[in-house]
């Protein structure tokens, strides 16, 4: 049995009653998960635009990092992730995929990137991407 996800809306919207009815009709052994929605497409677009600007403008300990490497740096800092030795040398960050981040977590990541880019040692000009708010909404 598979049912589409329900996005719970404020009452009197019927979404809550429909969810309750789906739970009542579900066979034993089914799993119910309630979670925050994942990051928006707008947040994702802003994150990648910001990562690209950081990769162009910042030398990190004498190295230029790619957009993807910066994503790992920021997400690891946000989540306080651990670093372990790699199988063939080097190190691996045990991290979280940004595609599984909630909207709130992605807003925190974008805020972290702004804070990083405003520090005197690595100022970043984020150009025209500033019209997208950390929540993922386009500013009016």
What pLDDT, on the 0 to 100 scale, is given for residue 139?
53
The burial of 113, by beta-carbon neighbours within 10 Å (0-12 exposed, 13-18 middle, 19 or more buried), is given as buried
pLDDT by residue (tens digit) across 89-133? 888 877 678 888 889 999 999 999 999 999 988 889 887 665 655
Parse the chain into domains and list their residue ranges: 1-34, 41-131
Alpha helices in the chain (DSSP H): 15-25, 41-57, 67-79, 103-117
What pLDDT, on the 0 to 100 scale, is given for residue 98?
85
pLDDT by residue (tens digit) across 11-26? 888 888 888 888 898 8
- CA distances to 1, 27, 51 from 22, in Å: 11, 10, 41
Answer yes or no: CATH 1.10.3790.10 is held by domain 41-131.
yes
Separation between Cα atoms, residue 134 and residue 121, nearest integer Å: 23
Q: Residue 71: pLDDT band by 50, 70, 90 thresholds?
A: very high
Residue with tokens 């066979």: 27
What pLDDT, on the 0 to 100 scale, is given for residue 9?
87
Q: Which of 118, 111, 100 is nearest to 136 (CA)?
A: 111
Q: Do 27 and 1 contact (CB within 8 A), yes or no?
A: yes
Q: Taken in order 139, 39, 42, 113, is the CA torsion positive or negative?
A: positive
Average pLDDT over residues 48-55: 92
């Amino acid at each position: 049995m598979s049912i589409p996800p329900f996005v719970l809306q404020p009452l009197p919207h019927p979404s809550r009653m429909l969810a309750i009815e789906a739970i009542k009709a579900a066979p034993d052994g089914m799993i119910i998960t309630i979670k925050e929605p994942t990051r928006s497409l707008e947040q994702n677009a802003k994150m990648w635009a910001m990562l690209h600007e950081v990769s162009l403008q910042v030398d990190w300990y004498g190295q230029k990092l790619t957009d993807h490497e910066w994503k790992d740096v920021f997400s690891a800092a946000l989540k306080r992730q651990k670093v372990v030795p790699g199988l063939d040398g080097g190190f691996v960050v045990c991290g979280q995929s940004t595609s599984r981040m909630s909207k709130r977590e992605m807003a925190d990541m974008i805020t972290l990137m702004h804070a990083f880019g405003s520090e005197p040692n690595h100022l970043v000009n984020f150009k025209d991407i500033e019209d997208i708010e950390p929540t993922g909404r386009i500013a009016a």
